[in-house]
Amino acid sequence: MQDPSMASSSSSTSLQLGQVSEKLTRDNYVLWKAQFLPAVRGAQLLRILEGKVPAPSPILKVLLDGKKKEVSNPEYDSWVSKDQQLLSYLLNSITREVLAGVATMTTSAEAWKALEVMFAAQSRARVTNLRMQLATLKKGSLTTAAYFNKMQNIKDELDAAGKSIGDE
């Protein structure tokens, strides 16, 4: 038989999401997102982050001894724990200037949606700018290797933005 104190400690284990090496600023959303999301997917929390798994009801109505009673829903407590750890991970991965735009959000989904809205236009403009850079890039006095590396860096940034282009 398992010790009840052991059972409760295993259910409250904190999520292991790791560190984001580069915090979100006003200028690096695409790259930040590329490093932030794999940890969230790996922890199987993407659906909570995207708001596709809403909070369950905090109270359950059950029949006990022939009477309807309200009891605490353990699924709600588990969801809140995951959501708040995810929100903490998100908030700890952004800079102070960006934090100001999401500081009042109480769930990870609210904060995520606010960040997406905040950076949507900027991301589109960045992709357009990168495509323009690639189209107008000239070798000039660059070595062939430096020219190729510059093209590859632009391609990598477009890939990170979800706008892949072919190697040719």
More confident call, 105 vs 160: 105
Q: What is the pLDDT of residue 157?
A: 76
Rounded to whole angstroms, the Cα distance separating 95 from 52 reads: 26
pLDDT in tens, 59-80: 999 988 889 999 999 999 999 9
* pLDDT (mean) for 156-168: 73
pTM: 0.67
How far apart, in Å, are the Cα atoms of 144 and each of 23, 61, 109, 150, 154?
33, 71, 46, 10, 16
Q: What is the pLDDT of residue 134?
A: 87
